Amino acid sequence: MTTTRIDARFAALEREGRAGLVTFVSAGDPDPETSLALVRALPAAGADVIELGMPFSDPMSDGPTIQASSQRALKHGQTLAGTLALVRAFREGDDATPIVLMGYYNPIYIYGVDRFLADAHAAGVDGLIVVDLPPEEDAELCVPAMKAGLSFVRLLTPTTDAARLPAVLANTSGFLYYVSITGVTGTAKPDFAAVGRAVAAVKAKTPLPVAVGFGVRTAADAAAIAAYADAVVVGSAIVSAIKASLDANDAATPATVEAATALVRELAGGVRAARRTAAE
């Protein structure tokens, strides 16, 4: 693979001597127009990498908050084609911020793998996180994605043992996503010391950047994780801020974009204020 926006961004973060902030929102939540406005506003608020959720009716690894955001997006007609259109529109004004699509294989399979990879690359997508395709299925999407110029980011969990780790690392590119808790998104708070030990162990086995997510809700949480990791991923807290700004019918209000970006600014401040530790 050639150097991607993901590679360039993590190289820049390393030069700056700080961790990055990866923000997750569901594409099309609460509606396509507001979603585009929000995604366009994230970099200025402090997002270094943007994860866009591909809305799906059965999101098995997501907690209730992100499940609800997928439902709001689907209710407003969000499709995988619409998500790629959002990325194309975003790229009209930002050619630097990496975008990673996160979700499940079913919508990609229905769209058609080859067609999806070509369209995603052309739209300006940089990487994929597909949580229900294990390494044993790399020929299905992972290897074709990398051949198409897209990074394939893999999840590591607290239950990934030393015997399993080589398989997880084999075809991973861009960065590794360490899941800080056992369970679904947005449901528990990480044990920061344990996360630090786990990140150090992983980084001893791979040169890839390690991002940590699940359970990070506040600037203090983000700072604690940023002391160890190359990036901090925040999703449910941002999606919760979006939900809290909606009206009684789950429609966007004039406060919606600012509600999300205000939290992102706080999180970015926590990440940037973090004191790096030797646990790396």
Q: Is 62 part of the annotated catalytic residue set? A: yes
Report the candidate in 260, 234, 214, 183 with the shortest Cα–Cα distance to residue 29: 260
Catalytic residue among 29, 51, 138, 230: 51
CB hemisphere CA count around 1 (13 angstroms): 23
* pLDDT at residue 167 greater than cutoff 60: yes
Confidence label for 41 from pLDDT (cuts 50, 70 and 90): very high
pTM, two decimal places: 0.93
- pLDDT above 60 (res 140): yes
3-state helix, strand, coil in the chain (%, to 5): 45, 15, 40
Q: pLDDT band at residue 188, thresholds of 50, 70 and 90?
A: low
pLDDT of 276 reads 63
Q: How far apart are CA 143 and CA 104, in angstroms?
A: 16
Write 70-73 long-range contacts (CB < 8 A, 24+).
Answer: 70/26, 70/29, 72/26, 72/28, 72/29, 72/30, 72/31, 72/250, 73/26, 73/27, 73/28, 73/29, 73/30, 73/31, 73/35
Q: Which of 170, 116, 175, 176 minimizes the C-alpha distance to 148?
A: 116
Annotated catalytic residue 33: no
pLDDT digits (tens, 9 = 90+) for 68-115: 999 999 999 999 999 999 999 999 999 999 999 999 999 999 999 999
CATH fold, domain 5-273, is TIM Barrel (3.20.20)
Nearest-angstrom CA–CA distance, 125 and 153:
13
Q: What is the pLDDT of residues 229-279, one digit of tens each?
A: 999 999 999 999 999 999 999 999 999 999 999 999 999 999 999 866 544
* Residue tagged active-site, from 7, 62, 119, 230: 62
Give the tens place of pLDDT for each residue, 5-19.
999 999 999 999 999
Beta strands across the sheet bearing 20-26: 151-152, 127-130, 99-103, 49-53, 20-26, 231-234, 210-213, 176-179, 154-156
